[in-house]
Amino acid sequence: MHPDLSPHLHTAECNELITRLMHCHTEHNVMKFFGTCNDADRAMRHCLKKERLEKRERSKEHAQVMKKRLKGKPMEQL
């Protein structure tokens, strides 16, 4: 299963790959079941994985910053 493929959730690079895969699926209604669109699917999944890992890293960094910020202040100032 893929995550939500809405264009506003992804980079331009991944949106291009998603569009290419959707176009392949509409162009090859039956042949998609025999691997015709596998290259486009692999490229899209690779891009989505890269996005997910980048987002995960940004979230981790943000959590570390927030943790330091919260530990540095007394409870009265929060």
In this predicted model, what pLDDT tens digit does every residue of 17-62 receive, in sequence order? Answer: 999 999 999 999 888 888 899 999 999 999 999 999 999 999 999 9
Residue type, 38: N
Q: Distance between CA 3 and CA 47 in Å, rounded?
A: 12
Per-residue burial over 22-34, b if 16 or more Cβ lie within 10 Å, else e, is: eebeeeeeeebee
Residue 17 in contact with residue 44, Cβ under 8 Å?
A: yes
Q: What is the pLDDT of residue 33?
A: 86
| Of residues 13 and 3, more confidently modeled | 13
Q: What is the pLDDT of residue 49?
A: 95
**Residue carrying the six token digits 């330091």:** 68
